[in-house]
Structure 1
Amino acid sequence: MELKNMLHGGDYNPEQWLDCPEILKEDIELMKKAHVNCVTLGVFSWAVLEPEEGVFHFGWLKEIIDNLYENGISTILATPTGAMPHWMTAKYPEIMQVGADGRRNLPGKRHNFCYTSAKMREKTRIIDKKLAEELGNHPAVVLWHISNELGGNFGDGSCHCDECNAAFRRWLKDKYGSLKELNKAWWTTFWSHIYTDWEQIHSPVPNGENLLHGLNLDWRRFVTYQMTDFCQWEIGSVREYSELPATTNFMFFFKSLDYYELHKCMDVVSWDSYPFWHKSKDEVPVAVKTAAVHSMMRSMKKKPFLLMESTPSCINWRVSNPVKRPQMHMLSSMQAVAHGSDSVQYFQWRKGRGSFEKFHGAVLDHRNKDNTRTFRDVTEVGKRLKEIGQKVLVTCNKPKAAIVFDWENWWAVEDATGPRLDIDYVKTFLTHFRAFWEAGMDVDVINMDYDLADYELIAAPLNYLYKEGYAKRVEEFVRNGGSYVTTYWSGIVNETDLCFTGEHPLKEVLGIRQEEIDAPGEEFANCIVYHNNSYSMGGLCEIVHAEGAKVLSVYEKEYYKGYPAVTRNDFGQGTAYYLAAETSQDFLNLFYRERGKERGIVNPLSEMLPYGVTVSVRKGEQDLVFLQNFNDDKVTVEIGNQWKDADTGEGVEGKIELVPFECRILMKA
């Protein structure tokens, strides 16, 4: 998607104000004042676009788009399938989801549709085609927004109806070919649950089978497959009349759908970012988690993404919903841009008067028009994006380090029923990501299917499940000179969740042999000594034997005292490291900083950064260095060589002072 300007705007819901023409007129005036150049229309408009079956009203929407366009504001046009009108659910109840408890949902909420339902697909195609025919080639429309936050709002987003179960069985037949192969892959001799007829297979549910890990894993894969197929159905519908690119908005670590699969049918990756800023005085954990998802969105296509939704002030669904402190809106917006976003957009433009989101943050509140701190903050972001946009649009982050985060591994490791029942894959991943973040080293977030040759350093924490071919790609990566880091509880099962027997799939690469893994309680906490400093270990401690690897550190306590805890193995032209236990953050920070230096990966300032300060680089003919301070205090940063402030053009060198929640953008002088 080629952009002429950074996009600034967000969700606009004029259908809620059609009886207030003075409000719609005021909206455009204030959008221009806030430097808004793009809005998203139609996300939840089905009941207004088609108020009764077969009766379509597009005139109001065309008039809105025309008026916006005349004032320099473009449109991202959404298909309206995120929420269904009552006339449709009343006439066709089969389009609503069936929960894992076997009960069909009643009408209401969002995403209450069965993605397999033939009737839902029929009605979807009709409304999408009509929308595309009427407005898909309007000069103001720049992008299709397919549905909204797919899978959200109802449980885990999966449907267990008869149509979905029948489709699941067809999917399994295509995958395995025969029941013999399926039974082998799922290890169904366990508890004598061998399937003898395809019709015996049902989705995993609380009152039925849900302890076959292969079944659980394949069901999750199927749900992603079927939702992706529904997305493709929608894209195919609008493409009958419009060739515009398409996206759908992803969410924060949404476990139910594998975004590495779903993004493949999209032209542009976008997501909705709602961090819990000001949860505590220490903003770093939230900044790290948000940075990780920004990086993941960019890494999917290795191209800039779009921040489709964010809040300019607060949200409304947590127990406590603090507003953004001064400067945090600018910083959080620039954080997205720093990691590869070509937009800053909001939910929503104007607060609604009623229903669930009437107190959700918006650019305009209920009473004050432009006379609010939020409006002024948004205006400042819009102004900055406009001024620096041309420098940003020709750049993108291109890290030489990557961390493996894989949805299928996530599903499998947290379904494993051992060695702990509280294993948190995301939490573990974030501790490793944070080490790069604190060092100011950009990193891609990839799954096991990606080409590894683009990188110098790859980390794969808690890589429990190995997809077919993954071990060979890692072996080739290390043999050709790459540096690979993995951890305890890795290489345990294959892609159907069956345990590997015999050697670790990467035994020769890692130079170790796994024996057993301990899940010690707090009274049995362990530690290691590394570079003459002691670091705590806990959670999981694997007992391994060095068989070719060099031991860098050993356990200091318990019956495995003296056993390897950190190893290094030279293999081919590269190196593989193994961390046998769950380690403290301070150890990981040191460890990955060392690995980066070995591979020539350092932040461009080449200095140790103060706590809460990080660096991201968008690379192009002229690199842009985003220096971000997530402290509610002033900090001074050593910046080394001569730099130029990208906003002002002024020269800076030696040191730079950042005020609380400030982002400075630097260029080489």
Structure 2
Amino acid sequence: MINERLPKIWYGGDYNPEQWDEKTWDEDVRMFKLAGIDVATLNVFSWALNQPDEETYDFDWLDDKIDRLYKNGIYTCLATSTGAHPAWMAKKYPDVLRVDFFGRKRKFGARHNSCPNSPTYRKYAERLASKLAERYKNHSGVLIWHVSNEYGGYCYCDQCEKSFRVWLQNKYGTITEVNKAWNTRFWGHTFYDWDEIVLPNILSEEQPGEVSFFQGISLDYRRFMSDSLLECYQLEYNAIKQHTKDIPITTNLMGTYLELDYFKWAKAMDVVSWDNYPGIDTPESMTAMNHDLMRGLKSGQPFMLMEQTPSQQNWQAYNALKRPGVMRLWSYQAIARGADTVMFFQLRRSIGGTEKYHGAVIEHVGHEQTRVFRETAALGTELQHLSEQMVDARVHAKVAIVFDWENRWAVNLSSGPSIALDYIEEVHKYYAAFYEQKIQVDMIGVDEDLSKYEIVIAPVLYMVKKGYAKKVETFVENGGTFVTTFFSGIVNENDLVTLGGYPGELRQLLGIWAEEIDALHPDNKNKIVIKEKTGNLQGQYECNLLFDLIHAEGAEVIAEYGDDFYKGMPVLTKNAFGHGNAWYIASSPDDTFLNDFVSSICEDKNIKTLLQADSGVEVSERTKNGHSYLFVLNHADESRNVYLGESERTNLLTDKIQSGTISIEAKQVMILGNQQLGDL
């Protein structure tokens, strides 16, 4: 549980009372109570207000707002406000300003414009966090600490370059080891002194679009920048913990955000929180995958939905309104996949600045007679009635999909084989196949224990880190099913090719050798021809993008290519290894193949769908104290059917017992408990 002082699903969002007058504050509290809002995030961008100069700190305004909310039954998620440094700091200490990828020194403006290796920024950010924690350490209204906001963005200044060299010394020890790790004899890059190393940007090793001439240094700089920003977070985290050891601390993440290694970050967070902003064309399965990834960062611990919009965004190309029912639907999607909060950005719309057209619970009209407010209040009422039953409930899965940020960076930086290769898309293709079949999946990192799973899938496992191949071998030896794909097992953690033939350290496990990799335009298709019916796989399917030319070295050939000069060569293999099996899919297959493949390997492991339902219906399950809560969400624009058979379940939103075939209306939600409501 996030904080036992509020043992329910928290409901609320970002609130900026400093932008309003006292009359508005009173009206806000009245409307928050109408909507069932019980948590407000304060102080996110108030550094300049809290600290008007180098020596002065003023928290009187914040005292008033925290007290005012708490007296009305509304708790505070208290931010440290360090996501945007004050103008006076930039003027007096220009070292806080970042240098961009093109070598240009930024001026004050926007936000996240602070150099993560600036001694000035670190000093004042840590000091502010400490002063806030000391002041509010005993306030009963403060539920959780929110450090900074949406960390991100790299810096390429001289002080980052110097810090990068220190980071390299700590990692490699000697310049000889750096040269070895980066293969610097290529293009005459051998270094003899640490200060010969320059950071990789457009002035040195990189071009826009993640193009690098020297992947080793570019990969390490991404690790270094992720670590640098993490150090900033940890400075504030430690400063707060000196005063408030029992109040949890978080910072809001952003799903599959490219620049930070969130599995590493999650180890430093008491609870994971994230901001969910799908685009107008984002598949529901991609949003579900993001929720599952956030849950997976801390091995299944419930997470916080820190931000979503109640209506529309302001920064996408096309800022469509959420249609009636969609805000509620997507809120329950988050809860279904492990969220213990539903929170919005923002609670009241600003009147100026870039987010004045970003949706809010309280619109510019300022009263409750709006569609958005009515929907928000209705959801708040529902959550008040049912959330205590399922708060801290867990999601259990027998299938895991591996996601690794460092592997993603290496794939992106690779000079070939195809500009169309998108790590996220390839991972999502496999996730979507399980999603469509209503089979629960955990998204895991490479450090996760594999023994609790029956099936582990690692799409495009280009980078195999030290010890990981042995870890997977042990999993398969003990009876697990492992699946990986084309362009896997190519390099080690330094992006150096593993010699002896692809897929490198996975070669023995998979029982294959990949001789060449063909890369064609995505419109060019080949065929996957199944030799003999295997599970639900039969006939032929299409594949594209990359085509590994593989030879079987003990693996059983399940399917062959149907076209091109490699017609008849293996494209799908299965290798018995110990008590389990390791599969290799040598190209990017179509959705029909993936659906048949996923159903086959799940049937082999006796992994069943959570619930039979029509297409367009999402199903997820959370369990607590022996009780099951099946979330059934209809994303379609028409009604759909759900098939319960003879089993009886109680719809917790209506208190009705359901069985047989149930019709669920468009954009509607059911939560099916395995007991009658009165027994829960």
Judge same fold: TM > 0.5, yes or no.
yes
Report if the CA contact (8 A) 1:439-1:614 is conserved. Answer: no
Report if the CA contact (8 A) 1:627-1:664 is conserved. Answer: yes
Are 1:479 and 2:483 matched, yes or no? no
Deviation readout 1:551-609 (Å, 9 max, x if unpaired): 1111111111111111111110111111011111121112112212221222222x3x3
User: Which residue in 2 is equivalent to 1:528?
Assistant: 528
Question: In structure 2, the residue corresponding to 1:427 is in which secondary structure?
Answer: helix
Provide the rounded CA distance (Å) in 1 between the counterparts of 2:384 and 2:517.
Answer: 54
User: Which residue in 1 is equivalent to 2:630?
Assistant: 625
Q: How does 1:13-162 map to 2 (within 5 A)?
A: 13-17=16-20, 20-151=21-152, 157-162=153-158
Deviation of 1:524 after TM superposition, in Å, equals: 4.4
Deviation of 1:239 after TM superposition, in Å, equals: 2.1
User: Which residue in 1 is equivalent to 2:508?
Assistant: 508
Report if the CA contact (8 A) 1:395-1:623 is conserved. Answer: no
Provide the rounded CA distance (Å) in 2 between the counterparts of 1:523 and 1:476.
Answer: 39
Provide the rounded CA distance (Å) in 1 between the counterparts of 2:57 and 2:121.
Answer: 17
Provide the rounded CA distance (Å) in 2 between the counterparts of 1:10 and 1:287.
Answer: 23
User: Which residue in 2 is equivalent to 1:287?
Assistant: 284
Q: How does 1:164-313 map to 2 (within 5 A)?
A: 164-210=160-206, 211-243=213-245, 244-277=247-280, 279=281, 285-301=282-298, 302-313=300-311
Question: In structure 1, the residue corresponding to 2:571 is in which secondary structure?
Answer: strand
When the two chains are superposed, the root-mean-square deviation of aligned CA atoms in Å is 1.3
Provide the rounded CA distance (Å) in 1 between the counterparts of 2:392 and 2:525.
Answer: 50
Report if the CA contact (8 A) 2:302-2:392 is conserved. Answer: no
Deviation of 1:529 after TM superposition, in Å, equals: 3.0
Letter in structure 1 aligned against 2:402: V
Report if the CA contact (8 A) 2:619-2:633 is conserved. Answer: yes
Letter in structure 2 aligned against 1:550: E
Report if the CA contact (8 A) 1:148-1:249 is conserved. Answer: yes
Report if the CA contact (8 A) 2:524-2:545 is conserved. Answer: no
Provide the rounded CA distance (Å) in 2 between the counterparts of 1:208 and 1:611.
Answer: 50
Report if the CA contact (8 A) 1:543-1:580 is conserved. Answer: yes
- 1:549 to 1:381, Cα distance in 2 relative to 1, 3 A: same
> Percent of aligned positions with the same letter in both sequences?
42
Are 1:659 and 2:665 matched, yes or no? yes
Give 5+ residue unaligned stretches, structure 2. 207-212, 531-536, 676-680
Provide the rounded CA distance (Å) in 2 between the counterparts of 1:203 and 1:394.
Answer: 44
Letter in structure 2 aligned against 1:106: K
Report if the CA contact (8 A) 2:98-2:114 is conserved. Answer: yes
Provide the rounded CA distance (Å) in 1 between the counterparts of 2:659 and 2:478.
Answer: 39
Q: How does 1:452-467 map to 2 (within 5 A)?
A: 452-467=450-465
Are 1:361 and 2:359 matched, yes or no? yes
> Mean alpha-carbon deviation: is it higher for 45-54 or for 465-474?
45-54
Report if the CA contact (8 A) 2:3-2:143 is conserved. Answer: no
Deviation readout 1:173-192 (Å, 9 max, x if unpaired): 11111111111110111111
Letter in structure 2 aligned against 1:144: W
Are 1:7 and 2:10 matched, yes or no? yes
Question: In structure 2, the residue corresponding to 1:111 is in which secondary structure?
Answer: coil
Provide the rounded CA distance (Å) in 1 between the counterparts of 2:609 and 2:49.
Answer: 51
Question: In structure 1, the residue corresponding to 2:648 is in which secondary structure?
Answer: strand
Report if the CA contact (8 A) 1:603-1:615 is conserved. Answer: no
Deviation readout 1:101-150 (Å, 9 max, x if unpaired): 22221001111101111111111122112211222321000100000000
State which of 426, 432, 444 in structure 1 corresponds to 2:430.
432
Deviation of 1:611 after TM superposition, in Å, equals: 1.8
Deviation of 1:369 after TM superposition, in Å, equals: 1.2
Letter in structure 1 aligned against 2:221: W
Provide the rounded CA distance (Å) in 1 between the counterparts of 2:610 and 2:261.
Answer: 33
User: Which residue in 1 is equivalent to 2:620?
Assistant: 616
Query: 4+ runs of 1 displaced by more than 4 Å?
Result: none
Deviation readout 1:196-225 (Å, 9 max, x if unpaired): 111011110112123111101111111111
TM-score by length of 2: 0.94
Letter in structure 2 aligned against 1:633: E
- 1:354 to 1:628, Cα distance in 2 relative to 1, 3 A: same
Report if the CA contact (8 A) 2:440-2:610 is conserved. Answer: no
Provide the rounded CA distance (Å) in 2 between the counterparts of 1:523 and 1:214.
Answer: 32
TM-score by length of 1: 0.96
Question: In structure 2, the residue corresponding to 1:464 is in which secondary structure?
Answer: coil
Q: How does 1:585-664 map to 2 (within 5 A)?
A: 585-605=591-611, 607=612, 609-620=613-624, 621-640=626-645, 641-664=647-670
Report if the CA contact (8 A) 1:213-1:412 is conserved. Answer: yes
- 1:108 to 1:190, Cα distance in 2 relative to 1, 3 A: same
- 1:575 to 1:368, Cα distance in 2 relative to 1, 3 A: same
Deviation of 1:262 after TM superposition, in Å, equals: 1.2
User: Which residue in 2 is equivalent to 1:341?
Assistant: 339
Report if the CA contact (8 A) 1:465-1:491 is conserved. Answer: yes
User: Which residue in 1 is equivalent to 2:324?
Assistant: 326
Report if the CA contact (8 A) 1:524-1:558 is conserved. Answer: no
User: Which residue in 1 is equivalent to 2:534?
Assistant: none
Deviation readout 1:518-569 (Å, 9 max, x if unpaired): 1123674211234433211111111111111111111111111111111111
Give 5+ residue unaligned stretches, structure 1. 152-156, 280-284
Report if the CA contact (8 A) 2:340-2:392 is conserved. Answer: no
Deviation of 1:46 after TM superposition, in Å, equals: 0.8
Provide the rounded CA distance (Å) in 1 between the counterparts of 2:46 and 2:301.
Answer: 31
- 1:66 to 1:473, Cα distance in 2 relative to 1, 3 A: same
Deviation readout 1:4-48 (Å, 9 max, x if unpaired): 11100000000001xx21100000010000000101000001111
Question: In structure 1, the residue corresponding to 2:650 is in which secondary structure?
Answer: strand
Provide the rounded CA distance (Å) in 2 between the counterparts of 1:469 and 1:516.
Answer: 25
Provide the rounded CA distance (Å) in 1 between the counterparts of 2:248 and 2:538.
Answer: 55
User: Which residue in 1 is equivalent to 2:210?
Assistant: none
Question: In structure 2, the residue corresponding to 1:619 is in which secondary structure?
Answer: strand
> Mean alpha-carbon deviation: is it higher for 52-61 or for 264-273?
52-61
Deviation readout 1:364-415 (Å, 9 max, x if unpaired): 1111411111001111211111111122114110211110110000000111
Letter in structure 2 aligned against 1:475: E
Report if the CA contact (8 A) 2:420-2:522 is conserved. Answer: no
Deviation readout 1:610-637 (Å, 9 max, x if unpaired): 2211211112220111111110111112
Provide the rounded CA distance (Å) in 2 between the counterparts of 1:115 and 1:522.
Answer: 40
Report if the CA contact (8 A) 1:549-1:567 is conserved. Answer: yes
Provide the rounded CA distance (Å) in 2 between the counterparts of 1:371 and 1:310.
Answer: 21
Report if the CA contact (8 A) 2:116-2:232 is conserved. Answer: yes
Aligned residues: 654
> Mean alpha-carbon deviation: is it higher for 617-626 or for 482-491?
617-626
Report if the CA contact (8 A) 2:523-2:544 is conserved. Answer: no
- 1:495 to 1:73, Cα distance in 2 relative to 1, 3 A: same
> Mean alpha-carbon deviation: is it higher for 263-272 or for 642-651?
642-651
User: Which residue in 2 is equivalent to 1:154?
Assistant: none
- 1:559 to 1:106, Cα distance in 2 relative to 1, 3 A: same
- 1:240 to 1:438, Cα distance in 2 relative to 1, 3 A: same
Provide the rounded CA distance (Å) in 2 between the counterparts of 1:29 and 1:421.
Answer: 54
Letter in structure 2 aligned against 1:232: Q
Deviation of 1:288 after TM superposition, in Å, equals: 1.1
